[in-house]
Structure 1
Amino acid sequence: MAKAFVVGHPIKHSRSPLIHGYWLKQYGLDGSYERIEVAPVNFGDFLKSFPTRGFAGGNVTIPHKEMAFLGVDRRTEQAERVGAVNTLWIEDGVLWGDNTDVTGFMAHLDASLGTGWEQDVETVLVLGAGGAARAVVAGLQNRPCKRIFVANRTLSKADDLVRDLRRGSPVGLETSAWEALGRVIPHAQLIVNTTSLGMAGQPPLTLDLAKAPRNAVVADIVYVPLETPLLAAAAAHNLRTVDGLGMLLHQAVPGFRRWFGVTPEVTPELRALILADIEAQR
Structure 2
Amino acid sequence: MKEAFVIGHPIAHSKSPLLHGHWIDTHKIDATYSALDVAPEKLSDFAARLKNGSHVGGNVTVPHKEAIMAFCDQISETAQKIGAVNTLWLQNGKLCGDNTDKYGFLANLDQQLHGWDQQNDCAIVLGAGGAARAILVGLVERGYKTIFVLNRTIERADALCQELNKALNTNALQSKNISQFNILSDHADLVVNTSAVGMGGSKFEGLSLKTLPRTAIVTDIVYTPLETPLLLDAKAQGLRVVDGIGMLLHQAVPGFERWFGLRPTVTEELRQKILGAN
Quick check: TM above 0.5?
yes
In the alignment, is residue 119 of structure 1 matched against residue 118 of structure 2?
yes
- Supply the AA of the counterpart residue of 2:147: I
What SS is found at the alignment partner of 1:3? strand
1:27: how far off? Answer: 0.8
Contact (CA 8 Å) 1:209, 1:233: kept in 2 or not? yes
- Supply the AA of the counterpart residue of 1:125: I
Cross-structure match for 2:158:
159
- Supply the AA of the counterpart residue of 2:156: K
Contact (CA 8 Å) 2:147, 2:173: kept in 1 or not? yes
- Supply the AA of the counterpart residue of 1:239: L
Contact (CA 8 Å) 2:147, 2:172: kept in 1 or not? yes
Contact (CA 8 Å) 1:141, 1:171: kept in 2 or not? no
1: CA distance, partners of 2:8 / 2:273: 22
Which runs of 5 or more residues in structure 1 are unaligned? none
Cross-structure match for 1:108:
108
In the alignment, is residue 80 of structure 1 matched against residue 68 of structure 2?
no
Which runs of 5 or more residues in structure 2 are unaligned? none
1:170: how far off? Answer: 4.2
1:172: how far off? Answer: 1.2
2: CA distance, partners of 1:135 / 1:46: 25
1:229: how far off? Answer: 0.2
1: CA distance, partners of 2:51 / 2:69: 17
2: CA distance, partners of 1:107 / 1:251: 8
Cross-structure match for 1:132:
131
1:205: how far off? Answer: 2.3
May I ask how many residue pairs the two structures share in their alignment?
276
1:171: how far off? Answer: 5.8
- TM, length-normalised to structure 1: 0.95
Contact (CA 8 Å) 1:188, 1:216: kept in 2 or not? yes
2: CA distance, partners of 1:169 / 1:237: 36
What SS is found at the alignment partner of 2:118? helix
- TM, length-normalised to structure 2: 0.96
2: CA distance, partners of 1:16 / 1:82: 21
2: CA distance, partners of 1:95 / 1:82: 18
What SS is found at the alignment partner of 1:121? coil
Cα deviation code 1:214-245 (max 9, x no counterpart)? 10000000000000000000000000001010
Cross-structure match for 1:142:
141
Contact (CA 8 Å) 2:202, 2:229: kept in 1 or not? no
Cross-structure match for 2:226:
226
Percent of matched pairs sharing the same residue? 50
What SS is found at the alignment partner of 1:234? helix
